Amino acid sequence: MLFLGFSAGLPYLLVFSTLSAWLADADVDRAAIGYFSWVGILFSIKVFWAPVVDRLKLPLLGRLLGQRRSWMLLAQVGIGLSLAAMALVEPVGHLERFAQLALLVAFCSATQDICIDAYRIDSADESFQGAMAATYILGYRVAMLVAGAGAFYIASYDSWNGAYHAMAWLMGVGVITTLIIREPDTPPRQSFGRQPAQWLETALIAPFRDFFSRYGALALGLLALVAIYRISDITMGVMANPFYLDIGYTKNEIATVAKFFGFFMTILGSAVGGLAVLRWGLGRSMLVGAVGVAATNMLFAVMAAYSPVTPLPILPVLGLPLDPEQVRWGALAWLAAVISADNLFGGFSNVALIAFMSSLTNRNFSATQFAIFSSLMTLPGKFIGGFSGEVVKAAGYPVFFNYAALLGVPAILLTLWWIRRRYPPAAQADRD
């Protein structure tokens, strides 16, 4: 899962912020750069072709590697070749072809996500899903560092073309892993064959019918919990970097504290989250994650109201020195503390949510059902997060971060509802 997570995380930034930097460096029109962000929609609509990946058996590869590994290998090779092709094309003068290749990278990457999620669910039972998700996220985050800071470093000493060539070769990590791992034991799956109507019913309709038949009246509530659990976290994240700059932190300070230090805090939070799911169970872990994310947004609100970069006016009155160096170190310590809390609970809650979504899936439809959940968990947050700038502009950062914290309250309430339905008081007393 560590190496598969790396393979999944590597192409993500290469069609987002890293790609935007390449386009800006090539002096591509800023409006066109904005349109390139629509490439990311493919990650949110992968549910539409997940049934094909779940059910359609690939000729030759399917016989050699099995259902999961064959699709995984095809997607990984597609990513590597598409990145290599992007490295051979200059954006200026070939923007349409460049966009097509970026779309191909995103499509293959989203397909790989479907395969890896299904592989993880099929490979182990519910009690290990939290630990597997934590390991996957570790690999994913390492890959994002490589595709972000690593690509910038290569581009500064060579070129963006050279950086994308290097990233294409690094997809070999996923290819080698796929060839080494064992195909999980899964129920026999109906192929497309000569009965396409029956196959489509089994692949497209059956996963939805299965979910609603298993959970009945609870189904809509569970889907709502998946949809809103990360709204607070995603909404806050949209304005985090502008906020750091606006209150006086430098780019180097943000990179050092928020990116590199924050990376390790996220990894620690993911590891703790995996252990918590294993030891406490899903209910308590989900609740701790939801409360923690909302609470850390309140810390940002405090930072916004009392900027640590600017010395408080009361200090001279109290006779305390206003040493600029001490003030700066204090500001960085405050930023590190807030970033630590935010990233710890961010990593913790993400692992808990992935384990929760895994527990909702039926292994007969693991790829399709998990693709539904993973698409649903980001779409509402991305939509609401789009209005973050308007809130900041109209009311300021303190109000915005309080607003982001309040967005986490429905997730807390729905988590409590789910805990009571899954662990009724009588059953909990028997367990204790």
DSSP-derived 3-state class of residue 65: helix
pTM summary value? 0.68
CB 107 within 8 A of CB 11: no
What are the angstrom distances between the C-alpha of 340 and each of 84, 227, 282, 335, 336? 37, 25, 23, 8, 6
CA distance 149 to 302: 30
CA–CA dist 162, 7 (Å, integer):
19
8 A C-beta contact, residue 358 and residue 126 = yes
CA 270 to chain CA centroid, nearest Å: 12
SS (H, E, C) 373-421: HHHHCCHHHHHHHCCHHHHHHHHCHHHHHHHHHHCCHHHHHHHHHHHHH
Nearest Cα neighbor of 24 from 89, 88, 92, 85 is 92
Backbone φ, ψ for residue 271 (5° rounding): -65, -45
What are the structure tokens assigned to 343, written together?
């990233």
Contact 102, 89 (CB under 8 A): no
In DSSP notation, 233-296 reads HHHHHHTHHHHHHHTT--HHHIIIIIIIIHHHHHHHHHHHHHHHHHHH-HHHHHHHHHHHHHHH
Q: Which of 210, 346, 337 is nearest to 290 (CA)?
A: 346
User: What is the DSSP code (8-state) at residue 408?
Assistant: T
Residue pLDDT tens, the chain, 432 long: 999 999 999 998 898 767 877 887 787 776 676 577 677 778 878 878 888 888 788 988 988 999 899 999 999 999 999 999 999 998 888 889 999 999 999 999 999 999 998 898 888 877 787 788 888 988 998 998 888 778 877 887 888 899 999 999 999 999 999 999 999 876 655 555 556 666 667 666 788 888 888 888 888 999 999 989 988 888 887 677 667 767 777 656 766 776 678 778 888 998 899 899 888 888 889 999 999 999 999 998 888 887 666 554 444 444 555 556 666 777 788 888 888 899 899 989 988 998 898 888 887 777 678 778 887 887 777 777 667 767 877 888 889 899 989 999 999 999 999 888 876 654 444 444
| Integer-rounded Cα radius of gyration of the chain | 23
